[in-house]
Amino acid sequence: MIRQAWNEKIMQGVFFVAACTSVLAVAFICIFLFHNGTLALSEIGIWDFLSGTVWRPNIEIFGIFPMIVGSVYITAGAVLTGVPIGIFTAVFMAFYCPKKLYRPLKASTDILAGIPSVVYGFFGLVVIVPLIRDLGQFLGMGGNGNNILTASILLGIMILPTVISVTEASLRAVPSLYYEGAAALGATHEQCIFKVVVPAAKSGILAAAVLGMGRAVGETMAVIMVAGNQARIPSDIFQGVRTLTANVVIEMGYAADLHRDALIATGVVLFAFILIINLFLAYLSRSK
Amino acid sequence: MKIKSLAAAVFMLCTLFSGIDSARAEWNASSPVSVISREDGSGTRGAFVELFGVLGEIKGKKADLTTLDAQITNSTSVMMTTVAGDAYGIGYISLGALNDKVKAVKINGAEPSIENIQNGSYTVSRPFNIAAAPNTDNAVALDFIAFILSPKGQEVVKAGGYIPVAEQKEFSSAKPEGKAVVGGSSSVSPIMEKLAEAYKTVNPNAKLELQVTDSTTGMISALNGNYDIGLASRELKAKEIEQGLKPVVIATDGIAVIVNKNNPVENLTNEQVREIYLGNAKTWDEVSK
């Protein structure tokens, strides 16, 4: 009897330690980022760092405003291309899909989630970039295809699995009474879905979009390969752009001293972005 | 109804694509040059801007003035794929990585080749450096460095498509036993792999471990003793030499300026390349003016 109680206590401890791992990891990452990042921020000046439009590390000019703009543009582009397709796919899967088609459809979205991002990047580089390059030349916009539009389309595809699965789950969580009630009042299938069920799942769908946004902000490898990575503010969507993540990865290998600290500070800004998105998500799920 | 809308969708896609396809016309010299560059701090980029003088002064400091409109990549493979697909692209890569998917232009009339680099007519090249951990007593590491600088080691360098060093010392291995860790620049790693293989036939007692990272990591790790030998595809920074690293040049690598195969340009002068990368020559007919 006593031994069993001991065993239980010990195992409780093991579970507690396991549960602490992720909390500790977040805490350590915060400490590391802010400790190293604030060094550079105080030396460069927070305002100069955030609002500076010139990034020339070899003469110690560090302004990441173009990269902030880049991350915002590409994330917005990904949401614009990915979220509508994702929501319509989820609606199709939840309400229209023939039983035979459901399994392959579900399986293919799951596979989409599992493809490594460098493979997406290579696909984008070899398939999407030439298409957009031709489109740009056709429209007289020029550019070589490594631009905001390409990155947005590619990221739109990459956030599909997140958007689809979260949206589908939230659609299915709407009690069937809603649908049946609407149908009993004489609404058509389409009216039931788009006027009653989808609005009822509103907060879940919004959460799906925000989660997709989080994925898009943090994506690195695929974006580096197709976005062009110019550290300047673009004037149209056929120009290349550099994101915060790309800025860190591209230059980290060679950076030293203040340059290195500035890259870590870029990580701090990225971290702040993700925090804001998560806070927003927490707010959404609370207001449900 | 469904079939009609489907047919309409297919038709729209077809017209869109055929329209786009017809845009893929002949070479048009008034098109903008798409400039592609390596990332800031890359050994290849450092050597490139130095050699072509893509430099200027900002606030009294010597600075790399590569145009901010240049597309940036941190990989040779992305650079080559982009130039191979973009008729108006221009980029630069290590001579050893050159293949027939892209065209290497002549610089000042000289073709990029080992012979031309050796006889001095092609001047775009940079050293590959290695640096042993300061005060190391790792016999394998020291023996391996001596092997690299011997005629036998330099033969491997030449076979790999790089330019051997002029001063070669005869060497016979003391065949020390043990292990050495070699690591650093991903540009130097391919030739280092071949050198390590060749060394194994000379001294089967030794074990060499190769780690591929980058130039800066290679130097830092050599300093703190994680690597016995660090690799760098650039000149060592003053600070690194101050801290006790002694660079040894083991080979010279040419840098090839590459354009698309459909680009009729065969030859560029130093000045033209410089104007392109400074962003002053924006279209291909401005370049050849």
Residue B129 touches chain A, beta carbons under 8 Å? no
Q: How far is CA A160 from CA A20, A149, B12, B47, in A?
A: 32, 17, 24, 42
- Cβ distance A144 to B71 less than 8 Å, yes or no, reads yes
**Shortest Cα distance from B263 to chain A (angstroms)?**
15
**Residues of chain A positioned with their CB less than 8 A from the CB of B59:** 59
Q: What is the ipTM of this complex?
A: 0.74
To test the contact with chain B by mutation, choose from A48, A59, A220 the residue with the greatest count of B C-beta atoms within 10 A, namely A59
Q: What is the pLDDT of residue B23?
A: 45
* Of residues B62, B72, B213, nearest to A242 (C-beta): B72
Spell out the residues 6+ positions from residue B81 whose beta carbon is closer than 8 angstroms to its own. A125, A126
Q: Considering chain B, what percentage of its residues have pLDDT values greater than 90?
A: 27
The domain ranges of chain A are 49-287
| Confidence grade of residue B149 (pLDDT, cut at 50, 70, 90) | very high
Does A137 contact B23 at a Cβ distance shorter than 8 Å?
A: yes
Q: How many CB pairs under 8 A join A and B?
A: 103
Q: In this complex, do A224 and B42 lie within 8 Å of one another by their Cβ atoms?
A: no
Q: Whole-prediction pTM value?
A: 0.79
Contact with chain A for residue B211, Cβ under 8 A: no
Res. B19: pLDDT tops 90: no
* Residues of chain A contacting residue B72, judged by C-beta atoms under 8 Å apart: 228-231, 242, 250
Residue by residue, pLDDT tens for chain A (288 residues) are: 677 888 889 999 999 999 999 999 999 998 988 888 888 888 888 888 999 888 888 788 899 999 999 999 999 999 999 999 999 999 999 999 898 999 999 999 999 999 999 999 999 999 999 899 888 888 877 778 889 999 999 999 999 999 999 999 999 999 999 999 999 999 999 999 999 999 999 989 999 999 999 999 999 999 999 998 888 898 888 888 999 999 998 888 777 778 888 999 999 999 999 999 989 888 887 765
- CATH number assigned to the domain covering A49-287: 1.10.3720.10
Q: What is the pLDDT of residue B148?
A: 93
